[in-house]
Amino acid sequence: MERILVIGCSGQIGSELTLALRKVHGNENVFATDIKQPPKDILESGPFNTLDVMDYNNLLHFAVRFKITQVYNLAAVLSGNAEKIPQQAWEINMRALMNTLELARDSDVKKLFWPSSIAVFGPTTPRYNTPQLTVMEPNTVYGISKLAGERWGEYYQKRYDVDFRSLRYPGLISYKTEAGGGTTDYAVEIYYEAIRNNRYNCFLREDTALPMMFMDDAIKATIQLMEADAGKLSLRSSYNVGGMSFTPKEVAAAIRKHQPDFEITYEPDFRQAIADSWPASIDDSVARKDWGLSDAFNLESMTSLMLNEIRTKLSNKK
Ligand code: SER
């Protein structure tokens, strides 16, 4: 029986992954932690503790006390926010990872999941159908920290036999918890604004194509990777995950199929340069071959679901 620690359970990924893990492993075996208060369903369905991943002694104490065997470390400062506080973002993103890698050496933790990102690629990377192995010269603090993190993860796997597993998530789209501070966040905000005001002012240009994935597909892929036989994993850095690829203009068109008078305007800010340095689409054939990555949602199916869920959520709040 696994005993799982989720670090960052209150964030965009954590708030959904924690519940999915509780379904697989049993509510009482999934220990949700964060420095922020989690959503009600996490508090009510199983254990929650305030825990700061930056504090190694507390982290080790926690893992030993609750006999933790697996860690999902989701703590990070995202791309846009990291550019505002470069040194701090580097410190947080790297320290959080190093503490959990060390934890895996010092405790009964055997397996560690840590998210990487399409941000590991940079302006010199082939932009379309970006291969798993290619030129990687990220020029954002977030991207540099993710690339360094991948290298450390692989290093700990080879040198210390830590079962490190990772996905290079594309932009993640969900209705439960908003991300905050990322470059791909426009693709979540646009749905909220469509419901609230029937219009959206986008911080990226209309033709900016980026890889994106609906959260349900991302959660499924994460659990699938963590459950895959170690022997099937040809990579111990991080797997490309492609999802779908679209531009703001295309999302607006998809929304107009439901709300014909939806309006969009464009006012690119500093995040445009970040988006321009990232791939437009991703080749994830290695993940498909190694452990069976697959995804169910496309722009149309995701758009209907996002609009419906957000409409219900916002009307329940009134
Ligand atoms: N969604 C992230 C961001 O925009 C990329 O991994 O920062």
Q: Give the pLDDT score at 317.
A: 81
Q: Give the pLDDT score at 9.
A: 98
Q: Give the pLDDT score at 82.
A: 97
Residue at 289 is within a domain: no
CATH number at residue 269: 3.90.25.10
Q: Give the pLDDT score at 78.
A: 96
Across the range 203-218, mean pLDDT stands at 98
| 142 plus 100 within the same structural domain | yes
Residue at 25 is within a domain: yes
Q: Which of 72, 128, 142, 160 is catalytic?
A: 142
Nearest CA to 5 out of 13, 21, 16, 313 is that of: 21
Count: domains in the chain: 2
pTM over 0.85: yes
DSSP 171: E
Q: Ligand 1 centroid vs 171 CA: distance in angstroms? A: 6
Q: Give the pLDDT score at 139.
A: 97
Residue at 290 is within a domain: no
Q: Give the pLDDT score at 4.
A: 98
For 92-96, the CB contacts below 8 A with 24+ separation are 92/54, 93/142, 93/145, 93/146, 93/149, 94/145, 94/148, 94/149, 95/53, 95/54, 96/7, 96/53, 96/54
| 259 plus 140 within the same structural domain | no
Residue at 286 is within a domain: no
Q: Give the pLDDT score at 79.
A: 96
- Atom 6 (ligand 1) nearest CA: 117
CATH number at residue 223: 3.40.50.720
| 222 plus 267 within the same structural domain | no
Q: Ligand 1 centroid vs 146 CA: distance in angstroms? A: 11
**Boundaries of domain holding 13:** 4-171+214-240
| 79 plus 156 within the same structural domain | yes
227-265: per-residue pLDDT in tens? 999 999 999 999 999 999 999 999 999 999 999 999 999
| 105 plus 140 within the same structural domain | yes
For the cut 90, the answer to whether the pLDDT of residue 318 exceeds it is no
For the cut 90, the answer to whether the pLDDT of residue 6 exceeds it is yes
| 68 plus 108 within the same structural domain | yes
What type of residue sits at position 24? Answer: V
Q: Which residues of 15-54 are buried (b: 16+ CB within 10 A; e: fewer)?
A: bbbbbbbbeebeeebbbbbbeeebbeebeebbebeebebe
| 208 plus 218 within the same structural domain | no
Confidence band (pLDDT; 50, 70, 90) for 179?
Answer: confident
| 135 plus 196 within the same structural domain | no
20-53: per-residue pLDDT in tens? 999 999 999 999 999 999 999 999 999 999 999 9
For a pocket test of ligand 1, which of 185, 188, 208, 271 has the largest count of ligand atoms closer than 8 A to its C-beta? Answer: 185
59-74: per-residue pLDDT in tens? 999 999 999 999 999 9
To the query of whether residue 142 is one of the catalytic residues in this protein, the response is yes
For the cut 90, the answer to whether the pLDDT of residue 180 exceeds it is no
Residues having CB closer than 6 A to ligand 1 are 78-79, 117, 119, 142, 169, 171, 182-184
Q: Give the pLDDT score at 314.
A: 95
| 249 plus 146 within the same structural domain | no
Ligand 1 atom having least distance to the Cα of 80: 7
